Amino acid sequence: MHAGRFVITGLPGTELPADLAALWRRYRVGGVILFRHNVAGPEQLRRLVGDLLEVLGGDPIVSVDQEGGAVLRLPFLPSPPPGMSLGAADDPELARAVGAATARGLAAYGFNLNFAPVLDLNTNPANPVIAERSFGADPERASTLALAWHEGHVREGVATTGKHFPGHGDTTVDSHLGLPVVEKSLDELRRLELVPFARAAGRLPALMTAHIVYPELDGELPATLSRRILTGLLREELGYDGVVVSDALNMRAIADRWGAPEAAVRSLAAGADLVMPLGDLELQAQTLARIQAALDSGELDRGQLEASEGRITALARAFPARPGSYGEAQRAADRRLFVAAWTRGLTPVGDPVPPPKGACLRVVAQAQPEGDGVSEAGASGAELARLLGGYWKVDPVFVSGVDAVPGLEVATDECFNLLISNSRRPYPRTSWNWRPDLHVALWNPFAAAGVPAPALVSYGFRAEALEVVRAWLRGEAEARGRLPAPLRTTGT
């Protein structure tokens, strides 16, 4: 039994280094995940995946985070909307079609496992990392849409992974940066967070764990390391028999307390089938050696790991990694579908009115929003100014961060004041020196709760989303979506 069968790991750049390939061969690593920094373009990606498949050998897993919206690693593919946009449209058939089109692009480049859909319920608007990634706050409605998305996705040959068990929606701490604690009773968890996972238990081929402590479930360990949660709750009570994948073990919630090598063994012992020790060559070598030692010594139960190996192999064979074609006609059709889906999700808050044609348009936005390690960086202020130029006379006002926006000194003149939220961060809870005529929330929908203006919510900033926002601003599209989670002020 080889340690690498129970690992999904990554690489530092756009090519597979020889020393890393040698390490993977030594331990027979069977899974890899690619991020934006691994992708330079379609031809490079095809070469890289070909190299990976050669090194990974039989029954490989090539995975990616391609949720839609801000969490999208392949920028050259058409961009699907995130869960909350589909929640606003509230159409399972649309969700199913978007899931299928998302998978078509991935399958063409050799991916056979996608870390989506998000099954977390956004029951806390202050959540710093879930927000628009969730399908909504209502457990039944969100479950129905997420499962429809899954059905379309697997139909196109790419496995899905529901995340993050048993629920990341009600946190105020990002587990990439710290260890969240969810203080909810077991009854509350069963009524809300656990519903989508219970419904997914017999259907989704994989689930991802959450680096979160739930005192009602386990008073000491986060779900990723908890046998009570992964085996007792997920396997035994919910009856889940698919592949359980840990979230990345380099996240600070885990790395700062246990370190990836020790956490990998603990997670496998708790009931995970695959762990993700992402990091450099040294960290990967340490983690693989630690897992192998635990296997060889009997510290890890061989019967349990044989069952894990069987589940992993069954998934890889049910969804083989076979790069294929993604023709221009299909790409164009998928892009049209995504544009229609982004349009269906456009949501009015209050009574938003577009600016008059040809008006002076004062555009207030963050100059250069940053990504957060999970989400990619938002559209820049300059990109937004170019988008709107030509139809309006754009007067750009760019700020370095959202905290400066409420206190701006904005001239009282004939210009239409358009505030565009192109960052996930909400505005601080404070009084405003000025009032926008219109607020466009391109990213976090909960930003609309803290702005004294009617709003248009798009749930995303991809090219397709910006296209439909511009169409609405020009009076060429309608906003008929409905917020799938209640708006409440989230500022600090």
- Catalytic annotation, residues: 176, 247
Least confident segment among 180-189, 237-246, 261-270, 453-462: 180-189
What pLDDT shows up at residue 417? 97
User: CA geometry: angle at 150 spanning 4 and 214, to 5°?
Assistant: 65
What pLDDT shows up at residue 48? 98
What pLDDT shows up at residue 491? 45
Tell me the pLDDT tens digit for each residue of 4-27.
999 999 999 999 999 999 999 999
478: which 2 tokens?
């309608």
What pLDDT shows up at residue 382? 96
Percent of residues, the chain, with pLDDT higher than 70: 98
Please report which confidence band the pLDDT of residue 178 belongs to, taking 50, 70 and 90 as the band edges. Answer: confident
164/270 Cα distance (integer angstroms)? 16
Tell me the pLDDT tens digit for each residue of 448-458.
999 999 999 99
Tell me the pLDDT tens digit for each residue of 124-173.
888 778 889 999 999 999 999 999 999 999 999 999 999 999 998 777 66
> What is the residue-averaged pLDDT of the chain?
94
Please report which confidence band the pLDDT of residue 252 belongs to, taking 50, 70 and 90 as the band edges. Answer: confident
Q: What is the mean predicted confidence (pLDDT) over 21-41?
A: 97
What pLDDT shows up at residue 489? 54
Distances (CA, A) of 231 to 168, 244, 357: 19, 10, 60
Position 492 pLDDT exceeds 60? no
Distances (CA, A) of 174 to 68, 71, 170, 288, 470: 19, 15, 11, 27, 32
DSSP 70-118: TEES-TTS-----HHHHHHHT-HHHHHHHHHHHHHHHHHTT--EE---B
185: which 2 tokens?
């009773």
437/351 Cα distance (integer angstroms)? 11
Q: At what angle do helices 463-473 and 381-388 cross, to 10 degrees?
A: 40
Give 444 or 206, the one with higher predicted confidence: 206
Tell me the pLDDT tens digit for each residue of 66-110.
999 999 999 999 999 999 999 999 999 999 999 999 999 999 999
What pLDDT shows up at residue 372? 77
Tell me the pLDDT tens digit for each residue of 381-423.
999 999 999 899 999 999 999 999 999 999 889 999 999 999 9
Q: What is the mean predicted confidence (pLDDT) over 279-292?
A: 96
What pLDDT shows up at residue 174? 66
